[in-house]
Structure 1
Amino acid sequence: MECSEPGCERPAAVRLCIPWDENRDVCTAHARGLAQTDGIVPRPLEDADSEWP
């Protein structure tokens, strides 16, 4: 599964639980920035590929 952010082809590794919007599955790079927003809870995906550089 790929990151849900537009233009990103990295594998999704984190599910962002967003109370005011749909949850998103994103790569670790996008999760780092987006998870700093108050109210967003990052949760690692069980089947995430940890081999991605």
Structure 2
Amino acid sequence: MDCAEDDCERPAVVELHIPWAENRLVCAAHARVLGRQEGVVADPRPDGSDDLLG
């Protein structure tokens, strides 16, 4: 599965739990940025780690 962010084709490896919106599956790069917002919880997907190997 690809990252939920627009124009990003990286594999989704983190689920972001966002209090004011629906949860999103995103790549590690977007998780680092979006996970810094107050109230957002980044939850690594154990089944997403294989996506990194290609």
Asked if TM exceeds 0.5, the reply is: yes
Percent identity between the aligned chains? 54
Residue 42 (str. 1) matches residue 49 (str. 2):
no
The structure with more helix, counted as a fraction of residues: 2
Amino acid of the structure 2 residue aligned with 1:3: C
TM-score for both structures, normalised by structure 2: 0.89
Aligned residues: 52
RMSD between superposed Cα atoms in Å: 1.1
Q: Distance in 1 between matches of 2:7 and 2:26?
A: 12
Q: Distance in 2 between matches of 1:50 and 1:4?
A: 16
User: Partner residue of 1:51?
Assistant: 53
**Deviation string, structure 1 residues 18-41 (Cα, Å, up to 9, x no partner):** 011000000000000000000000
Runs of 4+ in 1 over 6 A off after TM superposition: none
Consecutive unaligned residues of structure 1, counting only runs of 5 or more, are none
Query: After the TM superposition, which residues 5-44 of structure 1 pair with which residues of structure 2 at under 5 Å, given as runs?
Result: 5-44=5-44
Consecutive unaligned residues of structure 2, counting only runs of 5 or more, are none
TM-score for both structures, normalised by structure 1: 0.90
